[in-house]
Amino acid sequence: MTAVAENLGLNIAIDRDALKRRLRAVEQKRRLRALALVLPLFLFILLSFVIPIGELLRNAVFDPSIHANMPLTVTALTQWDGKDLPDEAAYAALATDLAAATKAKTVALVGKRLNYEISGIRSKILTSGRKAALLTAGPYKDAMIGIDKVWGERDTWAVLKRASQTYTSFYVLDALDLGLDADGKLTPTGGAGYLHHRIPAHPQDQPDRDRGDAAARLSAGLSAGDATDPHQQPADDPGAAAVLDLVAGADHRLVRAAAG
């Protein structure tokens, strides 16, 4: 009788272990099935939203244009204290980098980056690059200032040094209508950034302001149109652009009236 009871208990234990294994297998299959259902949605969100937003946030602080295309100048400016103009070595590095960038056809990237902070400097960078390629000997400081007086201004070198970092605060500050001066101090930029254009002081006056701007552009475009080429493309005509703005504004008001 004792042997029978022991065998029965052993069989029950074996059956219990087998049942646990089967339950674990069933549970694992359910988890895999749930994961298979969720995985496509997860990948869609990751590829469509998370990665693009992450890239946008990265680009807001990452810009290697100067660091990658003007390595000698970046190295030379690490020793510059920012108080006076850089020394001859920095100007020699500038001439060499601009000449090399011109040859590699990347000088436009340098001009584009600096033009964000110094309006109108892009054309000067391109000209300086072409003329720097013709320089064969120093003194480079006098030669570069002779090419363009912009290289004799401390503000230009201050911007160049700030932009030489691969990570920059310029784009974030510019969106807030802020900037850094030659001494690295935070200063307002006079309302040139995103907030100034997108958030008016009195939102209720924005439609009237837009109509006034469009009317002014229309007047200027019509005045200029009399003295311009009659074969000019409509897309380049400020008068035509102003008319399109006025039509778009009228359509917007009609839509709002219909919704009301």
73 lies in the same domain as 164: yes
pTM: 0.58
Residue 192 lies in a domain: no
Q: 144 and 84 in one domain? A: yes
> Containing domain of residue 71, as a range?
65-168
Q: What is the mean pLDDT of residues 123-145?
A: 91
Q: Is residue 73 part of a domain?
A: yes
| Cα-based distances in Å from 59 to 23, 54, 66, 67, 113 | 50, 9, 15, 15, 13
| Chain centroid to CA 148 | 28
Residues 151 and 214 in one domain: no
Domain boundary among 37, 59, 81: 59
Q: Which two tokens stand for residue 72?
A: 């000698």
193 occurs within a structural domain: no
CA 161, distance to chain mean position in Å, is 19
User: Based on the structure, what is the number of domains in the chain?
Assistant: 3
- Per residue in 30-88, pLDDT (tens digit) is 888 888 888 888 899 989 999 999 998 888 899 999 999 999 999 999 989 888 899 99
Q: Is residue 142 part of a domain?
A: yes
| Residue that is written with structure tokens 């807001």 in the block | 60
Are 38 and 100 found together in one domain? no
Q: Give the count of alpha carbons within 13 A of 91, CB side only.
A: 23
Residues 43 and 90 occupy one common structural domain = no
Nearest to 135 by CA among 106, 87, 94, 105: 94
DSSP conformation letters of 18-33: HHHHHHHHHHHHHHHH
Q: Is 63 left (phi over 0), alpha (psi -120 to 50) or beta?
A: beta
Between 208 and 123, residue with greater pLDDT: 123
The answer to whether position 188 is within a domain reads no
**What pLDDT, on a 0 to 100 scale, did the predictor assign at position 107?**
94
Q: Do 243 and 164 share a domain, yes or no?
A: no
Task: Band the pLDDT of 11: cuts 50, 70, 90.
Answer: low
